Amino acid sequence: SQTIHQWPATLVQPVGSPLSLECTVEGTSNPNLYWYRQAAGRGLQLLFYSVGIGQISSEVPQNLSASRPQDRQFILSSKKLLLSDSGFYLCAWSVRQSGANVLTFGAGSRLTVL
Amino acid sequence: GEDVEQSLFLSVREGDSSVINCTYTDSSSTYLYWYKQEPGAGLQLLTYIFSNMDMKQDQRLTVLLNKKDKHLSLRIADTQTGDSAIYFCAESGGDYKLSFGAGTTVTVRA
pLDDT (tens digit per residue) in A5-56: 999 999 999 999 999 999 999 999 899 999 999 987 678 999 999 999 989 9
Residues of chain A positioned with their CB less than 8 A from the CB of B36:
none
B41: phi then psi, degrees, rounded to nearest 5: -120, 175
- Bridge partners (DSSP) listed for residue B10: B106
Whether B46 has its CB under 8 Å from any CB of chain A: the answer is no
Q: Do B42 and A44 touch (CB under 8 A)?
A: no
Report the sign of the C-alpha dihedral through residues A104, A70, A67, A51, in that order. negative
CB atoms within 10 A of CB A59: 15
Q: How confident is the model at residue A97 (pLDDT cuts 50, 70, 90)?
A: low
Chosen from A74, A94, A101, A109 to mutate, greatest number of chain B CBs within 10 A: A101
Chosen from B43, B48, B86, B89 to mutate, greatest number of chain A CBs within 10 A: B43
Among the partner residues A32, A99, A108, nearest to B42 by beta-carbon distance: A108
- pLDDT of A99 strictly over 90: no
State residue B1's pLDDT score.
45
CA distance B66 to A9: 39
Average pLDDT over residues B37-53: 92
- pLDDT of A98 strictly over 70: no
State residue A42's pLDDT score.
72
State residue A15's pLDDT score.
97
Average pLDDT over residues B17-40: 92
Interface of A with B (CB under 8 A): 32, 36, 42-46, 49, 51, 59, 90, 92, 94, 99-108, 110
CA distance A50 to A35: 9
- State pLDDT tens for residues B48-106: 999 999 999 999 999 999 999 999 999 999 999 999 999 999 998 877 789 999 999 99
Closest by CA to B71, choosing from B8, B4, B10, is B4
Distance from CA of B41 to the nearest CA of A (A): 5
CB atoms within 10 A of CB A2: 12
End-to-end CA separation in angstroms for chain A: 38
State residue B96's pLDDT score.
79
Biggest CA-to-CA distance, chain B: 43
A16: phi then psi, degrees, rounded to nearest 5: 90, -5
User: Judging by DSSP bridges, how do beta strands A73-78 and A19-26 pair with one another?
Assistant: antiparallel
State residue B2's pLDDT score.
55
Average pLDDT over residues A63-72: 95
State residue B93's pLDDT score.
81
